[in-house]
Structure 1
Amino acid sequence: MRRYLSVGVVVAVVLATGVVPSFGAPSPPAEPPGSANPDPLAEFHAQRPTWKPCKQTLECAEVVLPLDYLRPTGERISMVISRSKATDPARRRGVLVVNPGGPGGSGLSMPAYLAKTEAARAYDIIGFDPRGVGRSTALNCRTVPAIASADTRPQDDEFPKWAAEARAAEDACREAAGGIRPFVNTPNTARDIDVVRAALGEEKINYLGYSYGTYLGAVYGTLFPQRLDRSVLDSAVHPEWIWREQFRAQAIALRRNVEAWAGWVAGHHARYGLGATTEEVLVTLEGVAEDLAAKPAGVQARTDFDAAMGVGARYRPLWAETADSVARLRAGEPAEATAPMARSAERDLVSGVFTTVICEADWPTDLDTYYEDMRVFRDRYPYGFGIVRAAPMNCTFRSFTPPEGPIRLRRDGYPVGVVVQAEGDTQTQYESGPAMAERLRHNLVTVVDEGRHGIYGTGNACVNRAVDRYLLDGLLPPSSSTCPGEARPDPAAAASPQHVQTYLDELALGPVRL
């Protein structure tokens, strides 16, 4: 499974283009020396960052944290944080802590990413590498040799190889992860954020999280409600799908996009000739997949096709190029741009944060549960490597005991926030947004007919306006509202280079992530 997490699908062919420990609550004011009840985190809260220039135009600093919040006098780790100061100091209203997701994504560049937003005018934007990530005390795991073949539609006798590879990946992580792995989880990262808040001298923070970062922000608000002011959760995780179900739902979302694309193609049957109905276009797709499986390149060509279809169908501006490519393949034309599925460069060590954080929740241990799912997903959800979402992962063979389970999310003591969710999002499926908004009683902005993951700051004027008015002026959007997504294409027009690059970047990220 580890290998599929790092797979880079380089296909320019087929398509051109989160029992709560006592430290979960806000820490009381530090007691005077000699007090019978000293604040166990006082030393950490009292530190003040030393800022130095770092990447791009940002400043970076190091904050020291307890490895285990139940034993704060024990081992320590470090977290590197970044900052861009508010560009309009007269309007400054505090800090905006941002997280890009992952789990395990580096957030040091996030303040630069948001530099041109209206939020950058009024907030010191704070990014960070979470515990275990990048320049913070890193959690590294060793890679393992491939056991299973990269196949979107493997036969039943291949399933044990997928399980063996997942077990090997977990064993390799156990061997290399030292003593920090059990403490790399969402609740502890949320506690880290609160130490950062105190170190910055802020009474409260504001928060913007994308993808997994929405769950992290919701956990922070649950643990520290008196310390959170405004919050935006963009492309939210489902509060009940932590974590296996969230991945399974990705495959379903991928197919929905393919079906939506097929419906659009059917509406342009005279142009593409792939079928006059959604069903006919889907049959054509399966025919192309069968033909590719029969070619000398074998399953690899079909796997490339399945993987690329899952990505291409989510981005509406690429639908025309996708249709043209399918038509060419159907006609048997050479797939000159088709490159074989290529693995990203192998490294001896890789970050173990993703494959640790998702183990904070229990996973099934009966392999038959996974094999039954794999049969269904192989046949029904091949696009975008859907079967990977049903297969055993390292968490199936978890080699450590989490010190606590997932936090039950709630909003009790901090203001109403905003959830942004795109209808065609495949990493955090649309149902996740309304579920998170309902759980936290936040207001929901739905981006209609859009496949992007992470909307604010990417050029959607409607979403940017709604989020900016909330973050800067405290003005909530309606309890439920919509914004348009990127327009569907004109079949006669070519996709922009920017859209093509978005597609290729998506392929290169690999199939499973948040």
Structure 2
Amino acid sequence: MTGTTSPDRRRPRRRAARTAAAVALALAGTLSLAAAPASSAATRPAADPLARYHHQHLRWQSCLLGPGDATGKELDQAGAQCADVTVPLDYARPDGRTLTVAISRIRGTDTAHRAGALLLNSGGPGGQTLGDPPFVRRAMREVAARYDVVGVDPRFVGRSTPLDCHWPTGSMIRGAGTGRAGFDREVRFAADLARRCRAHAGDLLPHSGTRNTARDMDIVRAALGERRISYLGYSYGSYLGQVYATMFPGRVDRVVLDGVIDPARYSPRLLRGAEEANGHALRDWADWAAAHHAARGLGRTRDAVLATVETARSAAARTPLRVGGYRVDDHVLPVLVLNGLSQDNPTAYGDLADAVRDLRRAAEGRAVTPSPWLASALEFTLTGHESAYGSAQASILCGDVPAPRDPETYWRDLRRAGNGDRLFAPVTKNINPCAFWDPPRERPTTVRADLPALLVNATGDPRTVYPGARAVRRDWPSSRLVTLRDADQHAVYGVYGSPCADAAVNAYLATGRLPATDVSCPRPTR
């Protein structure tokens, strides 16, 4: 979950195009396939069971799907082209059913100094990446001319072959509610989400998961004619990069992982352990809101602002709040607050402040028309408008690592959290549909022991928490870590506006040489 619970807010921020709710890890072989038999292993190599995929011809064309396609329009204006890559549904049966993986590409212009292809993943899991090359090229500055920048919508995501469980929500993440009765409602809700996936996408679920996404990436690499690829992965994309580098160790060049997941902690309960970071982010936001009391009206001090949040939460626990056409209860309100805390900038802070203002007004019994960000978050959380996003996210997380199946495991976690944290622990420790999922088809990847990658993380990241980046840095002694200090920020490179962090990444992409030591970057003055 990139720790994300809904479509990533980085893209609306960096493109200034639209508002979306935020939020949310033995060396394996590349394939669980036997080589084709050969009459003489000494004289004739084994046949490549994936040859028709590796050597396919890609048909490049306009990315624009129609007059309302903003992503396609932006890609076309940036000089991108799009293509569909054919991959097997089941890598154990490569001659069987196939899927398409949608990709976009902006070709590098400095062919004399070409560094190769840079593949992107923006996280989620379940996040669309096809539209990202224009943003990434802007972040890369002059280095971009040396790369073909390639956006990939992973299998079952975006323009790739879809997976949709027809959920009444866009997210598998909700709060546990109040008491045992509230938790029992969540158990039934999670079980129903899993049942819908079996009913509507049961033939696809066994073939979801990060290992198959990594296999698809290698098909993309081969179809592009590249011997090796460079990679930039945000959030969940950091875990995907770790898995790819493990499964295909000779096929990575320069690797940047931003918002780093500790693979030892990757599971369907990925947000567990993020309570402290989110509490810190909430207090920093409350300081900002108090400083802007004249405009936002939430309280003149941090404590007063936090009391306003608690007033709305406790009111929602008693009776669902009416916000426009939606009803917001204590299963939903904590998720809204969590979603508002992934970005550390005045625009995101203002969005959350407007949302809390609207929720407080609803708690007072007043008629409320939700602010644009809150309206988008409510539509995502309380309707099936983004069902495919939540479906794909669940299929990946549940298909990667088994979750505890006994609801009492989650209830004990919630009981241990007590009443000290009424906002975040009920979300991070709650049950989810993975508890009712079929067991994963493969064992989780044991990530390789070392990789000379560049890691990037903010100290206050409320999704992929900083200790995870430190753990990966420790386990990969050849890597280097770029730290953005004193920022409650999820995703740094090209997103936050840190000249120090951006320069470190671009220098590495330009030369292939990691910094001599780890890099510590100050929080920019805003």
Smaller-chain TM-score bracket: 0.7 to 0.9
Task: Give the alignment of 1:212-291 within 5 angstroms.
Answer: 212-261=236-285, 286=310, 290=314
Question: How far is the alpha carbon of 1:192 from its aligned partner?
Answer: 1.1
The secondary structure found in structure 1 opposite 2:439 is coil
SS in 2 for 1:246: coil
Given residue 172 of structure 1, which amino acid in structure 2 is its aligned partner?
A: R
CA distance in 2, matches of 1:214, 1:63: 22
Corresponding residue SS for 1:120: helix
Answer yes or no: is the 8 Å Cα contact 1:68–1:183 preserved in 2.
yes
Please state whether the residue corresponding to 1:364 is helix, strand or coil.
coil
Change (3 A) 1:149 1:317: closer
> Hey, what's the Cα distance between the residues in 2 that align with 1:64 and 1:391?
38
Distance 2:365 2:524 in 1: 31
The answer to whether structure 1 residue 44 and structure 2 residue 53 are counterparts is yes
Q: Does 1:425 align with 2:461?
A: yes
- Is 1:393 the counterpart of 2:432 in the alignment? yes
Q: Note the C-alpha offset of 1:485.
A: 2.6
Secondary structure in 1 aligned to 2:87?
strand
SS at structure 2 position matched to 1:225? coil
Q: Quote the residue 2:161 is aligned against.
A: 137
Match of 1:315 among 344, 350, 353: 344
Q: Distance in 1 between matches of 2:519 and 2:161?
A: 41
Q: Which residue of 2 aligns with 1:366?
A: 406
1:460 and 2:498 correspond: yes
Aligned to 2:66: none
Q: SS where residue 96 of structure 1 aligns?
A: strand
Of residues 2, 8, 23, the one that matches 2:30 is 23
Task: Note if contact 1:144-1:168 (Cα within 8 Å) is conserved in structure 2.
Answer: no
Q: Is the CA contact 1:7–1:343 (under 8 Å) kept in the aligned structure 2? A: no
Change (3 A) 1:190 1:273: closer
Pairwise CA distance, 1:261:
4.8
Q: CA RMSD in A?
A: 4.3
Contact 1:424–1:451 (CA<8 Å) still a contact in 2? yes
Matched to 2:264, the amino acid is E
The DSSP-based 3-state class of the residue aligned with 2:270 is helix
Which structure 2 residues correspond to residues 431-450 of structure 1 after superposition, within 5 A?
431-441=467-477, 442-450=479-487
Cα distance change of structure 1 residues 395 and 27 upon mapping to structure 2, 3 Å threshold:
same
Structure 2 CA distance, aligned partners of 1:343 and 1:386? 23
- 1:325 Cα deviation after fit: 9.8
Asked if structure 1 preserves the Cα contact closer than 8 Å seen for 2:255 and 2:453, the reply is yes
Once residues 462 and 40 of structure 1 are traced to their aligned partners in structure 2, the CA distance between those partners, rounded to angstroms, is 46
Could you say which structure has the greater relative contact order, defined with CA pairs below 8 angstroms and 6 or more residues apart?
1
| Residue of structure 1 equivalent to 2:22 | none
Matches within 5 A, 1:171-190: 171-190=195-214
Distance 2:312 2:202 in 1: 48
Q: What corresponds to 2:192 in structure 1?
A: 168
Matched, 1:84 2:106: yes
Matched residue, 2:126:
104
- Structure 1, unpaired ranges of 5+: 13-17, 489-514
For 1:354, the equivalent position in structure 2 comes to 393
Determine what percentage of the aligned residue pairs are the same residue. 33
1:374 partner SS: helix
Name the SS for the 1:61 alignment partner.
strand
Instruction: Give the whole-Å Cα distance in 2 for the aligned partners of 1:477 and 1:50.
Output: 39
Q: 2:215 — aligned with what?
A: 191
Could you tell me whether the CA contact under 8 Å between 1:129 and 1:136 is conserved in 2?
yes
Change (3 A) 1:418 1:26: farther
Equivalent of residue 59 in structure 1, options 71, 75, 81: 81
> What CA distance in whole angstroms lies between the structure 2 residues aligned with 1:242 and 1:253?
17
Q: Match of 2:182?
A: 158
1:187-224 residue CA offsets vs partner (Å, 9 max, x unmatched): 11111111111111111100000011110011111111
SS at match of 1:127: strand
Hey, what's the Cα distance between the residues in 2 that align with 1:307 and 1:349? 17
Separation (CA, whole Å) in 2 of partners of 1:321 and 1:71: 48
Find the aligned partners of 2:394 and 2:110 in 1 and give their Cα distance: 40
Does residue 93 (structure 1) correspond to residue 118 (structure 2)? The answer is: no
Equivalence for 1:74: 96
What TM-score, normalized to structure 2? 0.76
CA distance in 2, matches of 1:273, 1:51: 52
What secondary structure, in the 3-state scheme, does the structure 1 residue paired with 2:184 have?
helix
1:293/1:24 Cα in 2 relative to 1: closer, same or farther (>3 Å)?
A: closer
CA distance in 2, matches of 1:77, 1:136: 8
Query: Does 2:241 correspond to 1:201?
Result: no
Compute the displacement of 1:440 (Å): 2.7
**Contact in 2 for aligned 1:153/1:382 (Cα 8 Å):** no
2-structure distance, mates of 1:301, 1:455: 33
- Residue 71 of structure 1, CA deviation: 2.4
Q: Is the 8 A contact 2:174 2:332 kept in 1?
A: no
Count of equivalent residues:
472
- 1:388 alignment partner AA: V
SS at match of 2:30: helix
User: Quick one: which amino acid aligns to residue 476 of structure 2?
Assistant: L
Instruction: Call closer, same or farther: CA 1:137–1:338 in 2, change over 3 Å.
Output: closer
CA contact (8 A) 2:29 2:247 kept: no
Contact 1:140 1:176 in 2 (8 A): yes
- Measured against aligned partners, the alpha-carbon deviations of 1:160-207 in whole angstroms (never above 9, x if no partner) come to 110101001001000111422111111111111111111111111000
Say which is worse superposed, 299-308 or 249-258, in terms of deviation: 299-308
Q: Give the letter aligned to residue 394 of structure 2.
A: T
One-letter amino acid matched to 2:405: T
1:240-275 superposed Cα distances (whole Å, 9 cap, x missing partner)? 111144211233321122244567889999x99969
Q: Give the Å deviation of 1:113.
A: 1.9
The 1-side partners of 2:506 and 2:50 are apart by 34
Q: Is the 8 A contact 1:154 1:378 kept in 2?
A: no
**TM-aligned CA distance change 1:309 to 1:180, over 3 Å:** closer
Distance 2:254 2:34 in 1: 20
List gaps (5 residues or longer) in structure 2. Answer: 10-18, 20-24, 64-71
Say whether the 8 Å CA contact 1:152–1:382 is kept in structure 2.
no
CA distance, structure 1, for counterparts of residue 33 and residue 509 of structure 2 = 23
Structure 1 pair 323–36 and aligned structure 2 pair: CA distance change class (3 A)? closer
Tell whether the 8 Å contact from 1:151 to 1:303 is kept in structure 2 after alignment.
Answer: yes
* Residues in 2 aligned to 1:78 and 1:194: alpha-carbon distance in whole angstroms: 14
